[in-house]
Amino acid sequence: MEIIDKQVDGVTILSLTGSIDAMTAPQITEFIQAQIAKGNTKLVADLKGVDYTSSAGLRVLLGAIKETRAQSGDLRLAGIQPDVQKVLNLSGFTNILKTFADPDAAVASYK
Amino acid sequence: MTTIDKPRIALVIGSGSVKCAAALGLMKVFEREKIGLDMVVGCSGGSIYASLIALGWSVQKATDTTLKMWTREVTAKRNTRALLQLALPWLVKFDETFGLIDDSLVNRRFREGFAGATFADMKIPLFVTATDLYNGEQVIMSEGSVAEAVRASISIPFIFPPHKVNSRYLVDGFQSDPLPIGVAIKEGADIIIAMGFESPYQDRITSLMRYNFQMSSVTSNNLLKTNYAFHNLAHHSEIIPILPEFEHKIKLFDTDKLPYVIEEGERAAEKQLPFIKGLLGI
């Protein structure tokens, strides 16, 4: 899993490449925790490079959503690929989080 | 990540009529890769294939058995008593045995198809789910006759009469959970391969039956999503969704499309295979 972070207008964009699953979950959680510890609670996960998410991946996303929202921030998703979208739909995650076609739109939504 | 020395693998096949045969395609891939299962869970249409897989039959034998058991003829004969219950309720008392279709043929087909097998005969532990008509509870069957359990699990509301097992009237498993992952969690599975299907919506509602099917789909699809979310968050290990896609519409008795359905199941399993192998360290 490759994670690259970038600041745009006070929002942290995390560009992820690979799968979000049990094998990569600890790395992603650690990365997000570090961002939150730095006070970066307005997050956008750019999932353009993510081809798969499993139950462990969903738990990572949920943990990040709860933690950022508890600190007046949020985790918003962008660039979701069809296979990941299917899992997010099936698990009802699209009912509780905001999704956007691309990171720019997700960043703009924080204004 | 906590590693489990020898993870217990479960296959859960949800409701979805003939589409559930996609599980046979998944088994082709698993057999080739020598990925063994520790348990199989089936609900509604999925209970047919869960049972065939648990019996250890080949994909060909399972397909042949399906073609013999599940044909349009099983819904051809109307249940006269049910029609009278609707038309003349003062004369023929309405009760919990209501179902528009005479189920004698499907009962016989299942008895013949499963050749008197019991849960104790299964090569892989099998769990079949249905729903208690009187209190809505999920009923997990893991002993006794497989044919009886499967028959209870496929009691489509209004179509087939509820099936009495151990003095309980049981209706379709999808009514308590269309994808019973919870059974695998409860039985101690680590890695859960979940093959689920959303119920199709009607293009147009032009009859009472279509209205009935539509209401069932609305309810069961929402139930599928809420339960799936809960199970994903509650499970200690991995739930791997296998969601075959069908370009062609698959109806309740489209057994002529079985080869296509199996192929799509195989394709969906191949897609997840690298991750599954990575998880198993093979």
CB contact under 8 A, B225 and A22: no
Q: Which are the catalytic amino acids of B?
A: 44, 172
Closest-CA residue of A relative to B4 is A22
**A92 neighbourhood in chain B, CB within 8 Å:** 225-226, 228-229
Nearest chain B CA: its distance from A108 CA (Å): 29
A2-105 under CATH 3.30.750.24, yes or no: yes
Beta bridge partners of B43: B129
Q: Where are any strands of DSSP class E within A1-111? A: 2-8, 11-20, 42-53, 74-78, 99-100
Segment B198-245, tens digit of pLDDT: 998 999 999 988 999 999 999 999 999 999 999 998 898 899 999 898
Segment B133-148, tens digit of pLDDT: 999 999 999 999 999 9
How far, in Å, CA of A88 to CA of B241, rounded? 11
Segment B102-158, tens digit of pLDDT: 999 999 999 999 999 999 999 999 999 999 999 999 999 999 999 999 999 999 999
DSSP B204: -
Is A56 an interface residue toward B (CB < 8 Å)?
A: yes
How far, in Å, CA of B45 to CA of B85, rounded? 28
CB count within 10 Å of CB A5 equals: 15
DSSP A100: E
Per-residue pLDDT band at B3 (split at 50, 70, 90): low
How far, in Å, CA of B244 to CA of A39, rounded? 42
Q: Where are any strands of DSSP class E within chain B? A: 9-13, 39-43, 126-132, 138-141, 163-165, 168-171, 191-195, 239-242
